[in-house]
A and B are shown apart, each in its own frame.
Chain A
Amino acid sequence: MAKINFDALKTVDDWSGALDTLIAEGKAATRDNDSDKRLDVQAQLTDFITRSPSFAAPLDEVARAAARDLFIEQVDASLAALALRDADLKKATELLKGVAAKADADAKSIQFKKVIDILDRSKAALDELKKLEETLAAPNLDLLRKIKAANASIEEVMKAVTKPA
């Protein structure tokens, strides 16, 4: 769009005419949903306010209101544009999350994380069994629970050793 030559504006009519031009351009930008044009008009309205002489102060109020309208229209247009792509983005994100989860699981499998974890828990259970053996003269409920846990862990070890990680 054409730039307003603010240096050439002398009279109130000149300034008023320039403002009419900018408002018309702003309306056209909104009609065409042309964000670049809308932003350009917004910037020129700021120049208008900055450069207009004090005798054109009432026009500044109109320029200010027009600039605010253009700002709100831009926000609404951007929100609509973001909404338009939302479903596709969500779909692609879910796919990426799935791939990342599988890659994470693969990395853990290569590092034997699951087997090592089971082995460590089994060792702890076996240690408890050893303690149990030493105090078998006076068994109690707590010790019986520990025996059960130890048995379960040993079973897990057996499964892990016979299956790939």
Chain B
Amino acid sequence: MKVSTLRAKSFVVLLALSLLTSCTQLPDLKPFADATTRMAGAMRQGYAQTEGLLIRAELDSPRIDALRARWDSTKKAINAIVAYSDALAALADAGNKGEESAGALIASLEGVQTAVGALLPGIPNIPATVTTVFRKINGVVAKLRARKALKEAVNDADEALNATATILSLNFQELARLNRAAGQEILNKLEFDNNTLRDYHDALTAEKNQITPILTKMLAYQNKDNESTRPTIFSDLRNADPAFASDLDAATQALGAGATAAQTEALTLTLLRRRQQHWDERVLYLQGELNRIAPEYDAYQAKKDEIKEVIKNNGPAFSSTVIETWASTHSGLKSALAKKQRVTVLELTSVVNELIEIAESVGKEKANGKD
């Protein structure tokens, strides 16, 4: 066996041994990155919405400014958390792209070499086998370095992150209280400012609703098909419209005791139609008034519905679950990194086989005097 091949194989064995005691699997950072995005989004949106509501609630400027100043620390904490999550992602990315990074380094080195060659002709090129070995080795080394750096980062951040989660959760609850208070204040002022309009609308509607059944009964009484129920309808009508009842009683009395049933019926129908006309006119007037105030009233109702919807959605939007989930995802990440992960047999075999092939080709090249 030639010396170069022996050296190459020894190198492969040493590398394999070092790999056996190391970990090369990088944990999945996506759940933490996603939880961070959701948490940061919910808090930023919650603040923007609350500040908007407080301004709508006509909170004075000094207090708005004070809130902005007080929330600044929370805003900075959220930014730091996002930067931390991004840094972890960058570490994992660097670990997964070890071969790519080695390639970039070689490309830069070759660029310098070419430039030197232009000044000092005769500088030899970097052998292709050396660059290939370097890429393969760095593919593993980068993962090892990234895993170590990830573990350090997650452990170092854990305590501060848990403290931040607790404070952010409390601050988010405080924001929810401000949001609810502002929503109630807007609703309260809206109801107060529209007291007259609402009372008038309600009075018009209530009166219209009282008249409608009277008119229905009047029409039913005049319908000959309801012969059997007419006495009941008549009785109901008298109760529902006392003015009609008293007018009818006075007219019937004036007619005298000797009046025939037909005369009484004719009198009843005459008075009823006169009364019906009165109610029709009244309904027409009430509806006219309702139509007149409709634009103003509808605008008030729309504002009321909108702010009620905001108040209703306040609970779920300000749930601290989003922060708790984010913190527990970080704990999960810490646990995953704490586990000793051995290189899988398949992975190890693959790396070792590739390196043996490269080492053998180096040996052959040397034996043929190419290098």
A42 near B118 with CB under 8 A, answer: no
Of the listed stretches A2-10, A15-23, A99-107, A135-143, name the one at the interface; the rest are far from the partner chain. Answer: A99-107
Tell whether, in the assembled complex, residue A93 and residue B181 are in contact, meaning their CB atoms are under 8 Å apart: no
Total B residues in contact with A, Cβ cutoff 8 Å: 74
B182–A93 contact, CB under 8 A?
no
Q: Tell me whether A75 and B59 are in contact (CB under 8 A).
A: yes
Which of chain B's residues 61-109 have a Cβ closer than 8 Å to chain A?
Answer: 63, 66-67, 70-71, 73-74, 76-77, 80-81, 83-84, 86-88, 90-91, 93-95, 97-98, 101-102, 104-105, 108-109
Please indicate the chain A residues that have their CB under 8 angstroms from the CB of B163 in the complex: 88, 92
Known: A88-B167, A92-B163, A102-B153. A119 touches B112 (CB 8 A): yes
A126 touches B115 (CB 8 A): yes
A89 touching B101 by the CB < 8 A rule? no
Residue of B nearest to A133 (CB): B119
Query: Known: A39-B180, A89-B164. Is A104-B87 also a contact (CB below 8 A)?
Result: yes
Known A-B contacts A35-B177, A92-B163; the reply to A110 vs B91 at CB < 8 A is yes
- Cβ–Cβ contact A85 & B63, under 8 A: no
Known: A64-B192, A81-B174. A103 touches B73 (CB 8 A): no
Q: Which of B93, B104, B157 contacts A96 (CB 8 A)?
A: B157
- List, in ascending order, chain A residues with CB within 8 A of B66's CB: 79
**Residue A162 is within 8 A (CB to CB) of chain B in the complex:** no
Give how many A residues have a beta carbon under 8 Å from the other chain's beta carbons. Answer: 65
Give the shortest distance, in Å, between A91 (CB) and chain B (any CB).
8
Task: Let me know if B170 is at the binding interface, CB within 8 A.
Answer: yes
Which residue of A is nearest B141, CB measured? Answer: A110
Bound complex: CA of A156 vs CA of B349, how far in Å? 39
Assuming the A-B contacts A96-B164, A110-B146, are A130 and B184 also in contact, with contact meaning beta carbons closer than 8 angstroms in the complex?
Answer: no
A60 to B181, CA, bound (A): 19
Check B105 against A64 for contact (C-beta < 8 Å): no
Binding site secondary structure of chain B: helix
Are the CB atoms of A107 and B160 closer together than 8 Å?
Answer: no
Q: Give the contacts of B149-188 with A (CB-CB under 8 A).
A: 149-150, 152-153, 156-157, 159-161, 163-164, 167-168, 170-171, 174-175, 177-178, 180-182, 184-185, 187-188
Other A-B pairs, 12, CB within 8 Å; known A106-B94, A127-B118 = A39-B181, A64-B188, A64-B192, A78-B181, A82-B70, A83-B70, A88-B163, A92-B167, A100-B84, A111-B97, A119-B111, A123-B112
Q: A68 near B: Cβ within 8 Å?
A: yes
Whole-angstrom distance between the Cβ of B57 and the nearest chain A Cβ: 7
- Point out the residues of chain A lying under 8 angstroms from B347, CB to CB: none
| Given A85-B171, A90-B73, A102-B153, also A123-B108 (CB < 8 A) | yes
| B199 part of interface (Cβ distance < 8 Å) | yes
B94 pairs with A99, CB closer than 8 A: no
Asked if B340 CB lies within 8 Å of chain A CBs, one says no
* Interface flags, A134-164, vs B, CB<8A=1, else 0: 0000000000000000000000010000000
List 5 contacting pairs A-B, 8 Å CB cutoff, sorted by A.
A70-B181, A72-B63, A95-B156, A100-B84, A119-B111
